[in-house]
Amino acid sequence: MQTITTVRDLRRFVWLHRQAGRTIGFVPTMGALHHGHMALVERCRADNDVTVVSIFVNPTQFGPGEDFDAYPRDLDRDLELCREHGVDAVFHPAVAEMYPEPLQTGIEVPALSTILIGEQRPGHFRGVATVVAKLLNIAEPDRAYFGEKDFQQLAVVRRMAFDLSMRASIVGVPTVREADGLAASSRNKRLTPAERRVAPVIHQGMLAARSLFSTGERDAATLVSAIRSATEREPSISLLSCDLRDSATLGILERVTDKPAVLLVTARLGSVVLIDQLELRPGATEEGEAA
């Protein structure tokens, strides 16, 4: 596995593989890797000849009150995990390599970026869209992999890649869960043991909503109330938002129709904000797979 720190060297690495007729898959991350990231790597390796992972804590997606410096960093462990999982190259640039001068250009996907998480974190998705565009311009992969857990991020990146006619196909990978159903996330480490015990209630609420959906329920308010009732059983969880949305536009829906819809949840548990999602596809079975 190669560790690459400059834009020039990554371009050369990719060019050499492309000359040899190999396909390139790319997994952008901010490090603090866990088994959720490794599911992206595994899917990437299955689809492509060469897998490149980027590890870059991107300062432009952190707001003024958000702690960029405190974001967890453990490069040695991340590199070890990538090596064990058969990654071909890790791109780990310094901030000055990615941003040699203050940016004058930024990518906005306003309709998808100013709602939900974007409402609480103004400018966050501008930072994400811009750094992802930069990374995709540098690596020029055939495919790039993003977790469905960060559903809004995936929608923003998909729309940006579509609007800007980017070469890479954007691939969403299903959420990886702990044994008790909690969505895998680097934030889970910040939960106290007591908070960690109650956190799976969010997923339990989603399973209740999915079960209603599988028996024919299509009304958004009823599906949402199944999640609300589950989380209300735990007073330490406060639901910040919970609604049914169109999977592509993220517009609010009153009913599931013939288009894919998604239940999006944001909840606060102590000092940690957790997000989760459940896609409801018309014609889906109890397991959520297309029938």
Least Å distance, CB 259 to ligand PAF, is 26
- Does position 30 interact with ligand PAF (CB under 6 A)? The reply is yes
Number of shown-chain residues binding ligand PAF (CB under 6 A): 10
Core vs surface per residue 26-40: b (16+ CB within 10 A) or e: bbbbbbbbbebbbbb
Give the one residue of 25, 28, 93, 200 binding ligand PAF; rule: CB under 6 A.
Answer: 28
Residue 37 appears among annotated catalytic residues? yes
The binder of ligand PAF chosen from 4, 25, 29, 82 (CB under 6 A): 29
Q: Which stretch binds ligand PAF (CB under 6 A): 78-86, 100-108, 128-136, 234-242?
A: 128-136
The first and second tokens of residue 250, run together, are 């993220």
- Each residue of 67-80: b (16+ CB within 10 Å) or e? eeeeeeeeeeebbe
Of 53 and 224, CB closest to ligand PAF:
53
Q: Closest separation between CB of residue 77 and ligand PAF, Å?
A: 16
Residue ranges of alpha helices (H) inside the chain are: 7-19, 35-47, 75-84, 95-98, 110-113, 117-120, 124-139, 151-163, 193-198, 201-214, 220-232
Count how many Cα atoms sit within 13 Å of the Cα of residue 185 in the half-sphere of its side chain.
Answer: 20
Residue 171 contacts residue 41 (beta carbons within 8 Å): no
Stretch that binds ligand PAF, among 97-105, 124-132, 188-196, 197-205 (CB under 6 A): 124-132
Q: Going residue by residue from 149 to 188, which x/- string records binding to ligand PAF, judged by CB under 6 A?
A: -x--x-----------------------------------
Using the minimum distance from each CB to ligand PAF, give the nearer residue, 56 or 213.
Answer: 56
- β-strands 89-91, 50-55 pairing: parallel
User: Contacting ligand PAF (CB under 6 A), which of 40, 132, 173, 224?
Assistant: 132
CA gap 256, 218 in Å, rounded: 5
Which active-site residues does the annotation give?
A: 37
**Site residues for ligand PAF per CB under 6 A:** 28-30, 58, 61, 128, 131-132, 150, 153
